[in-house]
Structure 1
Amino acid sequence: MTREAKKTPAGKGENWLEQYACAVLTGEITACRKVRTLCAVLLDKLRHPEKYRPWVFDEALANHHIEFVERFCKQPQGKLGAPLRLELFQKARWQAIFGFVDAHTGLRQYQECMIVEGRKNGKTTECAAIEIDLLVNDGEGAPEIYSIATKREQAAKSFNACVNMRKQSPELAGGIRKRQSDLYYPYNLGFITALASATNTLDGLNSHGVLVDELAAIKNRAIYDDMKQSMSAREQPLLFSISTNGFVRECIFDAQYAYAAGVIDGSIEDESFLAWIYELDERDEYRSEKMWIKANPGLGTIKKVDYLRRMVKKADNDPSFLPTVLVKDFNLKENAATSWLTWAECSNPETYNIAFDYAIGGMDAADSIDLAAATAICQRPGDPKIYRRSMYWLPQSVLDADAAAGNRRERDSVPYSLWVKRGLMRAVPGNKVDKQVMLDWFMELRDEDDLYVRYIGYDPWHIDDSLLDRFKAEFGEQCMIPVRQGTLSLSQPMKDLKADLGAGLVVDGNNPIDKWCMVNTEVRTDINGNIQPVKITDSRRRIDGTVALICAYKVLQDHYDDYVTMNEEA
């Protein structure tokens, strides 16, 4: 049965999407670049529908969902029982989600929607409203609506908001039954329930709606992918995620954010994906109150200006709190306050295609059963930039164990198997990484790429004499430079390297493993302000690539004149 048989509601209503898009594009509403770009596209779709066939905008159908929520849904917290009134920005995106349909079938165009906005902009309430709307008001038979998260407590957050909405509304309470673990609607045999990432419970689902409140908290990519696949039998399902930014990099949030940004700018073509990303365009904009609305579309109505003003003031007085404000209130990528680097300092996207004659190497081989890393850094005469090449190794047994278990949440919650396929990492047979692989890689640079590694920095605690002799046999008696892992050796090089990274002078070819390791690196500081790298908060946050870079950088500093002379003579 197609949706042509379903009558759209009567009444002209209002085109909230057009109002909002015009206000954004004329500057009446201050918005970030991504929102302005999206609004331009959506406004063009409204005014020139012939260009976007078969998709057309059904204003009455779009308003049908808004009118239902505002009539029957009540505030689940705060002013309990008060009617739920969607703000203009919310009505605009609801109309975009529900209003664009296929002219022939009446089915929705957008089946996946990602929203990124600052905290306290009504995310949980909006999630709950959409869940109830999809259950009761979407014309679907036996709809299965799931609120998902890594932990059940988080998944239950929007579900509990649904429960409270039902309690506050006589009409919803009369029609929807509260059972032990779900909300059941007998009229169409549908239900709403919370679901965590216990993957053995995901088989056999037939989802019509999947709601993710705080995508940045999802550590298990498998649950997101499985739930998306569970919608395949439905005619017009909706996967709706809404989140602030987070502190964990190279996770499902970053992947979805990059995908959403690509859809918005047109580099990725996906007609079924809609993304609203509210964020500051520049880091320093957090100091300007008139820019705050870019990341907080509900500022002044849902989110209190005084609250945000207090948060910013506290961040100015307490630098350790600043990353939290930048991430959670303004959706900027940042690391935790204890991190060695800010996100901006370790996220240089520059790539290069330059041939070099000489390099300085560094390596970290602390644990043969874990990740191992080696790096080579190069400079050119007259060029202050440092160009970096890296390689990583992991035991094949790690990948085999994940594959055998059907576990797409790979160890350390990063895509090791994908990195291996891309050639950024190599899997070593067995359950150990023989440190010989690092010597083999440096020899490969020499023999295949004509890149001669003059010096190699290493931690003397983790290299035995036999391997040391093999390195010297290949690269000379003076090639191996011990770099002891303490504040005395590493503090000043780390401070200098941080400055170079902040200035964009370290170019790693946009290597995601390099960035992941740098993001994970924290520092231990002694009473004299000297620092050394550590991983304190989470053993899964590998820093091997950072240690390899610091070793190479330290050697480059100590042997800089010799390195420059070699390059000039080459």
Structure 2
Amino acid sequence: MPREVESLTSDWICTTADERAVADGCWFDLQAAERVRTFFRKFLRHSKGQWAGQPFDLLEWQWQEVVAPLFGWKRPDGTRRFRRGYIEVPKKNGKSTLFSGLSLYLLVGDNEPGAEIYSAAVDRDQASIVYGEAAHMVDESPDLSRRLKVVRSTKRIVYHRTRSFYKALSADVPAKEGLNAHAVLIDELHAQRTRDLWDTLRNAGASRRQPLQLAITTAGYDRHSICWEQHDYALKVLDGTIEDTSFFPFVAAANDEADWTDPNVWKTANPSFGITINADQFAEDCTEAQESPAKENSFRRYRLNQWTEQDVRWLSMDKWDACGTPLEDLRGRVCFAGLDLSSTTDVSALVLVFPDEDEGRFDVLPYFWVPEEGARKRERRDRVPYVQWIRDDHMEATSGEVVDYDVIRRRINELNEQFEIREIAIDRWNATQLATQLEGDGFEMIAFGQGYASMSAPTKKLEEVVLSCKLAHAGHPVLRWMAGNVSIETDAADNWKPSKKKSVERIDGIVALVMGLDRASTQDLCTSVYDKRGILSL
């Protein structure tokens, strides 16, 4: 490697992957990178907002962190070093516009005969965003409009000179096999509900000289998604845990532990802060987010690029943690139970709710069961510490691959020797046999519906006691995890219920808590179970 090339290359070494790439013979070609920047400045113009009609001068972060390394790094044979990439930045930092420009450069500036460039998204509307901006850029450029034909009816831009085209795709288009892609650019990867589109396009450029598959997105919430997989992979490449010299990672986000109300954190997470992002408006959005857990969730995810536990958060985890008061001795006290028995292969939950009328507080004791084999599998698959929870006695494993309901029955009877369990609320459509057995053991079983009629009042009650710090749960880690997972459903009458469908992880303990809280907050503690049955106690 010539001395001047070696010196220039050293200026662009930022990660251990870069060091490994140089050791493998890779080098940095500043001229190739500048060619892309010149293309943007000379041929592309903004079509929206305050910069409409002005040349597309790459912002400093777009040039320094994305475009220059992506197109400047070369393999020993002179082709691009990077073949896959993941770019994650908060909203309003100009990522889709950048993608539109890159699509056009790859179409006309990459010297690839018969190039097929695809931008892809979750649906037709999202797919139209990158394509639409690219089409506007062609219309606004005399040079490009002479060379390229925009076909809006099929969302294509054709470059006849090299028999190349750019086309927008969406996940709802059934057939995408047989593509011979030079480049695939996937917008808002977090919105992909399955990995089907990703896997279909993954090898679409196998026969190309220097194919590129690039995803750009804001943070998501589903940790079982293809987006989380790529996010996790990108972080590991950045910190050197994984050495992959062909993968390009760029993630701009606030640390999970950072104070999300701090203006310095806002600037760290948003590379276009003060340029495409108005600081005053950002501050107003932050103030509004502090008044609502749901808005806080959206603010942290979309504006600070922090991965959240669910799409729309219901409970504030700061408020939840404030309820982690250690519990006093509860032996002999009256309690009401909620029992949520999910499928036999997953988590089942019992939550005892102890009303304290003098303090107006509710003390909570949760119990969880999971099949032993299922716990190991889920820990490996979902990165949830089931095995550690079992070791720490926060959860009980029953032998085999399914939950043993006899174990749950025995445990409930043991608990009744320590506490006075007045009632057990249970889903009327589930576990009929266990409910009958427990009734035979002398427990008052309450069939509890899972619809709005039964769930709305106690769901709102749970939010009320959490916000007012009238709940005490002693910081139980499994219940906390489930509290962080909960999304709620609402209807037109503003009725609420926890949603197992919308929540991306287990919420069985919260469902059991809601049922138990309903019984605990509507009963007269001076009336015994015998009085309710019409049998006077002596």
TM > 0.5 between the two?
Answer: yes
Cα displacement string for residues 294-340 of structure 1 (whole angstroms, at most 9, x for unaligned residues): 11101122323233233334435666533332221111234679643
Identity across matched positions, percent? 21
2:216: which partner in 1? 242
1:58: which partner in 2? 29
What displacement does 1:468 show?
Answer: 2.7
Cα displacement string for residues 464-501 of structure 1 (whole angstroms, at most 9, x for unaligned residues): 7644344678xx65597877855776776677789799
What displacement does 1:198 show?
Answer: 2.8
- Worse-matched range after superposition: 248-257 or 201-210: 248-257
1:535: which partner in 2? 499
The partner residue of 2:429 within 462, 466, 480 is 462
1:505: which partner in 2? 475
Opposite residue 364 of structure 1, the aligned amino acid is D
In structure 2, distance between residues paired with 1:131 and 1:488: 52
In structure 1, distance between residues paired with 2:204 and 2:317: 35
CA contact (8 A) 2:107 2:116 kept: yes
In structure 2, distance between residues paired with 1:283 and 1:418: 25
What displacement does 1:238 show?
Answer: 1.5
Opposite residue 124 of structure 2, the aligned amino acid is R
Equivalent positions of 1:395-406 (< 5 A) are: none
Opposite residue 30 of structure 2, the aligned amino acid is E
2:486: which partner in 1? 519
What displacement does 1:177 show?
Answer: 1.5
SS of corresponding position for 1:91: helix
1:148 matches 2:120? yes
1:127 matches 2:92? no
Opposite residue 53 of structure 2, the aligned amino acid is G
1:85 matches 2:57? yes
Equivalent positions of 1:265-304 (< 5 A) are: 265-282=239-256, 285-304=259-278
The partner residue of 1:106 within 62, 78, 81 is 78
1:331 matches 2:301? no
What displacement does 1:124 show?
Answer: 1.6
What displacement does 1:151 show?
Answer: 1.0
Q: Which has the larger radius of gyration?
A: 2
Cα displacement string for residues 181-239 of structure 1 (whole angstroms, at most 9, x for unaligned residues): 21011122111111111352211111221112222222232112211222222232222
In structure 2, distance between residues paired with 1:175 and 1:97: 26
In structure 1, distance between residues paired with 2:243 and 2:270: 27
In structure 2, distance between residues paired with 1:120 and 1:161: 15
SS of corresponding position for 2:209: coil
Cα displacement string for residues 266-321 of structure 1 (whole angstroms, at most 9, x for unaligned residues): 33343322221111125653333233221110112232323323333443566653
In structure 1, distance between residues paired with 2:93 and 2:195: 25
CA contact (8 A) 1:177 1:185 kept: yes
1:230 matches 2:204? yes
In structure 2, distance between residues paired with 1:94 and 1:508: 44
1:217 matches 2:217? no
**CA separation of 1:444 and 1:235: change in aligned 2, threshold 3 A:** farther
Alignment gaps of 5+ in structure 1: 1-10, 22-38, 348-359, 379-383, 393-414, 425-436, 559-570
Alignment gaps of 5+ in structure 2: 322-335, 353-362, 372-377, 388-399, 522-538
Aligned residues: 462
What displacement does 1:264 show?
Answer: 1.9
In structure 2, distance between residues paired with 1:292 and 1:177: 41
In structure 2, distance between residues paired with 1:442 and 1:452: 13
In structure 1, distance between residues paired with 2:189 and 2:140: 28
Opposite residue 202 of structure 1, the aligned amino acid is K
CA contact (8 A) 1:346 1:502 kept: no
What displacement does 1:126 show?
Answer: 0.2
The partner residue of 1:340 within 284, 304, 314 is 314
Q: TM-score with structure 1 length normalisation?
A: 0.65
In structure 2, distance between residues paired with 1:98 and 1:553: 59
2:111: which partner in 1? 139
SS of corresponding position for 1:287: coil
The partner residue of 1:204 within 178, 197, 202 is 178
Opposite residue 98 of structure 1, the aligned amino acid is F
CA contact (8 A) 1:208 1:236 kept: yes
Cα displacement string for residues 140-170 of structure 1 (whole angstroms, at most 9, x for unaligned residues): 2211111111111110111111111111111
Measured on the aligned residues, the alpha-carbon RMSD in Å equals 5.1
In structure 1, distance between residues paired with 2:201 and 2:318: 33
Opposite residue 534 of structure 1, the aligned amino acid is P
The partner residue of 2:513 within 523, 545, 550 is 550
CA contact (8 A) 2:462 2:517 kept: yes
In structure 1, distance between residues paired with 2:145 and 2:202: 30
What displacement does 1:119 show?
Answer: 1.6
In structure 2, distance between residues paired with 1:268 and 1:127: 26
The partner residue of 2:40 within 65, 69, 72 is 69
CA contact (8 A) 1:49 1:56 kept: no
What displacement does 1:532 show?
Answer: 6.9
In structure 2, distance between residues paired with 1:242 and 1:345: 33
In structure 2, distance between residues paired with 1:184 and 1:222: 27
In structure 1, distance between residues paired with 2:205 and 2:267: 34
**CA separation of 1:494 and 1:306: change in aligned 2, threshold 3 A:** closer
SS of corresponding position for 2:41: helix
2:15: which partner in 1? 41
In structure 1, distance between residues paired with 2:472 and 2:27: 47
- Worse-matched range after superposition: 543-552 or 498-507: 498-507
Cα displacement string for residues 30-54 of structure 1 (whole angstroms, at most 9, x for unaligned residues): xxxxxxxxx8417x94xx6786323
In structure 1, distance between residues paired with 2:127 and 2:225: 18
Cα displacement string for residues 386-418 of structure 1 (whole angstroms, at most 9, x for unaligned residues): 8975549xxxxxxxxxxxxxxxxxxxxxx9x96
Q: Which runs of 4+ in 1 moved over 6 A?
A: 14-17, 335-338, 343-347, 384-388, 444-447, 450-453, 479-484, 487-504, 538-543, 551-555
Opposite residue 94 of structure 1, the aligned amino acid is V
In structure 2, distance between residues paired with 1:440 and 1:286: 41
Opposite residue 233 of structure 2, the aligned amino acid is Y
CA contact (8 A) 2:293 2:313 kept: no
Q: TM-score with structure 2 length normalisation?
A: 0.69
- Worse-matched range after superposition: 485-494 or 72-81: 485-494
- Worse-matched range after superposition: 482-491 or 251-260: 482-491
In structure 2, distance between residues paired with 1:297 and 1:308: 14
CA contact (8 A) 2:219 2:305 kept: yes
Opposite residue 329 of structure 1, the aligned amino acid is R
1:187: which partner in 2? 161
SS of corresponding position for 1:462: coil
2:227: which partner in 1? 253
CA contact (8 A) 1:363 1:547 kept: no
CA contact (8 A) 1:344 1:502 kept: no
1:364 matches 2:340? yes
In structure 2, distance between residues paired with 1:374 and 1:65: 56
In structure 1, distance between residues paired with 2:247 and 2:472: 35
Opposite residue 306 of structure 2, the aligned amino acid is L
Cα displacement string for residues 489-538 of structure 1 (whole angstroms, at most 9, x for unaligned residues): 67766777897999993334998xx588x2334589x99xxx974339x7
Cα displacement string for residues 74-106 of structure 1 (whole angstroms, at most 9, x for unaligned residues): 21323333211001111112111112221x322
What displacement does 1:245 show?
Answer: 2.3
